[in-house]
Amino acid sequence: MDRYSEKFFRYLEIEKNYSKYTIDNYKLDLKGFMEFLGETPLEKVDYLVLRKYLAKLKERNLISKSINRHLSSLRSFFKFLVKESYLKANPASGLSSPKQEKHLPIFLTEEEVNKLINAVEPKDEAEFRDKAIMETFYSTGIRVSELVGLNIDDVDFIGGIVKVLGKGRKERLVPIGEQALSSLRNYLDKRKKYRDDDALFLNKNGKGIGGRGVRNIIYKYIKIASVKLGVSCHTLRHSFATHLLDRGADLRSVQELLGHANLSTTQIYTHLTTEKLKRVYDKAHPRA
């Protein structure tokens, strides 16, 4: 099993060009499946075995989105094994995906975003970095994995553009606002000189900051600002998309900015805020 999985991960990295973050998720999913199988060889895995595994995942009260991700990992793994002639048939091909619950993404109002960003009052290098991280998140709408992958050279301070390496190692250019650029300049002016200083955002040891470090920073200021529950790094991305659409941006443009491969993924942001619904209602309804 380990021999097959290692070849599979090399295939994802070299041929499919998947990011480290995606491959790490596949590794976690397959590790859980291997623990479930125990001593059962791959050749004995059939549709019924996989159904039992999915039932186990449901017993853990995982949401449909998480179960679908596990299922996607298994489909890709078994498809690879058949492609490489390690197996004759793909036992995962007949599995149907659980229906996903539809939830509106949590987002902040413009006032709440300002409150969160203004919770950072920079006095030292770390706080100037935190402010720049917040501003960059909201100004560009990029993912955590994309933010930690930024180098200084990826930011065009004159043109107001950031080069981002997204999912599937696809590059895209994203505009960045003057307030975010100003925060970045202030941070870089305060930043000490390090031997390894290509990364845009550094941790306390002078190395490129990781995803966990960024999340801890965001959670720290969420508590200080006392904004709504359920807020995370991704909430700033949701807020970025929502505010653009509320102010008249078209869906295709927002899709490009977010780096979504499919327009259907971007459509979750087409919900309207209560405030906008009220404005439309007051303007249009004869008895408003």
Q: Please give the full DSSP string across 23-67, using - where no structure is assigned.
A: HHHHHHHHHHHHHHHTT--GGG--HHHHHHHHHHHHHTT--HHHH
Report the distance separating Cα 76 and Cα 51, nearest Å.
Answer: 16
- Using an 8 Å Cβ cutoff, are 194 and 204 in contact? no
69: helix, strand or coil: helix
Active site residue 191: no
Does residue 259 sit in the same domain as residue 116? yes
Catalytic residue among 129, 237, 238, 243: 237
Q: Into how many domains does the chain fold? A: 2
Active site residue 269: yes
pLDDT at 200 over 80: yes
For residue 93, tell me if it sits in a domain: no
- Using an 8 Å Cβ cutoff, are 67 and 58 in contact? yes
Does residue 124 sit in the same domain as residue 186? yes
Does residue 143 sit in the same domain as residue 32? no
pLDDT at 266 over 80: no
Active site residue 260: yes
- Domain closes at, from 83, 101, 121: 83
- 166-178 tens-digit pLDDT: 877 788 999 999 9
Does residue 130 sit in the same domain as residue 257? yes
Active site residue 11: no
- Domain closes at, from 28, 48, 83: 83
- Tell me what the mean pLDDT of segment 50-70 comes to: 85
Does residue 8 sit in the same domain as residue 146? no
Active site residue 234: yes
pLDDT at 95 over 90: no
Does residue 114 sit in the same domain as residue 36? no
pLDDT of residue 120: 92
Does residue 148 sit in the same domain as residue 250? yes
Residue range of the domain that includes 70 = 2-83
pLDDT at 46 over 80: yes
17: helix, strand or coil: coil
- Tell me what the mean pLDDT of segment 234-253 comes to: 87
Q: How many CB atoms lie within 10 A of CB 242?
A: 24
CATH (domain of 64): 1.10.150
CATH (domain of 241): 1.10.443.10
Question: Residue 64: which residues within 8 A CB-CB, separation 6 or more?
Answer: 98, 99, 100, 101
pLDDT of residue 201: 94
- Using an 8 Å Cβ cutoff, are 133 and 217 in contact? yes
Burial of 11 (0-12, 13-18, 19+ CB in 10 A): middle
Report the distance separating Cα 108 and Cα 21, nearest Å.
Answer: 26
Active site residue 167: yes
What percent of the chain stands above pLDDT 90?
37
